[in-house]
Amino acid sequence: MTVPDPLRRETPLYGPFGLFHDPGWGTISFTQFGSIVAASLALGSFVSLIGFLTYLSWPALTQKGVTLITTGVWYYPREKFGALAMIYGTITSASVALILAAPVGILSAIWIAEYAPRWSRLPLKGAVEFLAGVPSIVFGLMGVITLRPVMQEFSGGGDSLMTAALLLAIMILPTLTTLVEDSLQAVPGDLRTQARALGLSREEAIRKVILPGARRGIVAATLLALTRAFGETIAVYLVVGRADNRLPESLLNLQPLIESGQTLTSKLGGSEVPMAYGDPLHMGALASLGLILIVITVFTTFLGQMMMGSPEKGS
Amino acid sequence: MSDMFLRRRSIRRRAFDLLTAGVCRSGFLFSMGLIVFLIAQIIFRGGASISLEFLTSPMRDGGLSGGILYQICGTMILIATAGSVAAPLALGLALLETEYVKNMFARRTIQILIHSANAIPSILFGLFGFFALVKMAGLQKSWLAGGLVLGMMILPTTAVAVKEAIDAIPSAYREQAIALGLSKPKEIFAVVLPRSFFGLITGLLLGLSRAAGETAPVMFTACVFYGPTLPHGIRDEPILSLPYHVFNLAQDSLKPQAMQNAWGASLVLIMIVSCLSLTAWGLRRHQMTEAWR
């Protein structure tokens, strides 16, 4: 026989439209159950994405091993799967893009944050953020129509890694500018006033007070822009030329830069993916390209997160 | 002597000051010029081909003439599916992380997973969608597969926005809920959800504005260039979409008519994207003024 508990309340209703009884303390409520289900679906989908790509790439990983990333010949009818030329394409195009975009982006962020009249900041930020949100296919179209003829004029080849790099530079410029500007704004205004009160010129205040204060944010913004450049598919696909197996003879030889090339993303966006279905080795090789891309981007992101997250050391 | 020294130094400082201002200004003018050039190009080239007929008639002659009616419908269907997939999952994920998981290690793991999912390039969602959903799960090339893939893609953005909104709830609100004797679910429904509602909508709209413009995830999973109109069932029905339309026309760059239609479709796409992100922006301002009260 159960003793009735005098402190026990009538079970009240809760939930949407009061549909559910409160199960009380100690049991899992409907809300908790629902969020557990939703969250495990969400997290499960990410885990399964990585797990599935690993599972798919298993035949290629076991049969080809390190030759996947140490050889540069990709010719699937002969089962030759070497991704080095594509890794080279991805890394060079993204780095050149960053080298071109970073100075301009950081300088214009400094101008917006430190020199621009106060009223003009909101519209300027608005314009920059609008451009950061423009879909990549539109940049791709601009690359095809505007940039390709220009590059044809300059270097003789319209579709090249350099064209892709220039397009990527234009694409990451707004993102970079707005993120750097955010981190400059995050430096407390007091520091500016105090630096100026101590007699520092504007340039000295920026160079000695504000930039050191925002350093981590700037590095993090740069890395984030780099991640975007690594993962960009469509715009690169349209202008990179998609020619396999172009590797430079030495690292300093820049000739492949102005020739057609291939990046990891443009390979994965190409027609080889539908063709590969059914051939475990070919599918596996493509999936391992995906894994390589994930490793590169996730590594860069974490570097940025670490920069952003760790506290500023006093100096 | 020291006077000379000081004067020379002050001239140098002044020169550096002016130089820096000039360099920053020219960097800014350069990128501003680029922005103005790009926006003008989109508006003038795209504006020239947009008309009521362009918006309300289906495509003809492989995109060389006709309009983009079904491409617009397809994009809307895709983002609606993506939104309805992502919203509940993101909400559940954020609630679990902020309300139920107390273990710091588990919390950290969830955050790391969300952040790395956010870093995954969109083409990999397409690759996963093609091999896993379209082929192995048997969804075929369909709007459902595309919507699921896009939903997965925008989930991290949305979840982070909800989590930030929940974290911004003043602790006094929660304390009052607890002092009134509310149970955890009641606290969530009375305090957490109403207070984070705008965060959910903002994050969702930002995610959707990205999803609407993405080509890479849908090109193997959902879209074809010509043929379908509106889908009749949930499987085996590929659809048209704006980004994929532009993508195909862009590869045909020698035909001026194709280019003109591509610019028109791009302008419509940009308008859809900016509507979504402007709404998100407005809601965020609303939310911020709300928080000040």
Find the CB nearest A140 among B30, B186, B250.
Answer: B250
Find the CB nearest A42 among B89, B132, B183.
Answer: B89
Domain-by-domain residue ranges, chain B?
Answer: 2-49, 54-292
Find the CB nearest B20 among A37, A124, A206.
Answer: A206
| Residues in CB range of A15: below 8 A, 6 or more apart | A30, A31, B185, B189
> What tokens appear for A315 in the block?
């100096």
For residue A166, the model assigns a pLDDT of 92
Q: Do B27 and A131 touch (CB under 8 A)?
A: no
Give tens-digit pLDDT for B131-190: 988 888 888 888 899 999 999 999 999 999 999 889 888 889 888 888 888 888 888 888
A18 dihedral zone (left: phi>0; alpha: psi -120 to 50; beta) = left
For residue B54, the model assigns a pLDDT of 82
Give the C-alpha separation, B256 to A206, whole Å: 49
Give the C-alpha separation, A225 to A263, whole Å: 17
- Chain A's closest residue to B135, CA to CA, is A277
Fold of B54-292: MetI-like fold (1.10.3720)
Helix, strand or coil, per DSSP, at residue A21 = strand
Find the CB nearest B28 among A15, A112, A202.
Answer: A112
Contact between residue A200 and residue A139 where contact means Cβ atoms under 8 Å apart: no
Instruction: Print pLDDT tens along chain B (293 aa).
Output: 566 666 777 888 888 888 988 999 999 999 889 888 888 888 888 888 888 888 888 887 777 777 888 889 999 999 999 999 999 999 999 998 888 887 888 888 888 888 888 889 999 999 999 998 888 888 888 889 999 999 999 999 999 999 988 988 888 988 888 888 888 888 888 888 888 888 899 999 999 999 998 988 988 888 888 777 777 777 778 888 999 999 988 888 778 888 888 899 999 999 999 999 889 888 877 766 665 54
**A residues 187-216 near B, CB within 8 Å?**
201-204, 206-207
Q: Do B92 and A25 touch (CB under 8 A)?
A: no
With an 8 Å Cβ cutoff, is A170 touching chain B?
yes
A168-204 burial, b at 16+ Cβ within 10 Å, e below that, comes to bbbbbbbbbbbbbbebbbebeeeebeebeeeebbbbb
Domain-by-domain residue ranges, chain A?
Answer: 90-263
Q: Give the residue from A8, A17, A21, A31 with the most B CB atoms within 10 Å of its CB, the best one to mutate.
A: A31
List of chain A residues whose C-beta atoms are within 8 Å of the C-beta of residue B215:
135-137, 233-234
For residue A314, the model assigns a pLDDT of 37
> Model-level pTM greater than 0.90?
no
CA distance A218 to chain B (A): 16
Q: Give the residue from A14, A138, A167, A240 with the most B CB atoms within 10 Å of its CB, the best one to mutate.
A: A138
Q: Do B213 and A135 touch (CB under 8 A)?
A: yes
| Residues in CB range of B41: below 8 A, 6 or more apart | A142, A146
- Chain A's closest residue to B245, CA to CA, is A137
Q: What is the mean pLDDT of each run of 10 residues along chain A (315 residues)?
A: 51 51 58 87 91 91 83 82 88 93 93 89 86 90 88 81 92 92 90 88 88 90 92 90 76 74 88 84 90 91 76 42
Tell me the CATH class for A90-263.
mainly alpha
Q: Which amino acid, B101?
A: V
Give the C-alpha separation, B206 to B277, whole Å: 6
Q: Do A36 and B121 touch (CB under 8 A)?
A: no
For residue B75, the model assigns a pLDDT of 92
| Distance linking the first and last C-alpha atoms of chain B | 61
CA distance A70 to chain B (A): 22
Contact between residue A235 and residue A168 where contact means Cβ atoms under 8 Å apart: yes
Find the CB nearest B17 among A105, A202, A232.
Answer: A202
CA distance A68 to chain B (A): 18
With an 8 Å Cβ cutoff, is A287 touching chain B?
yes
- Chain A's closest residue to B120, CA to CA, is A294
ipTM given for this complex: 0.88
A200 dihedral zone (left: phi>0; alpha: psi -120 to 50; beta) = beta
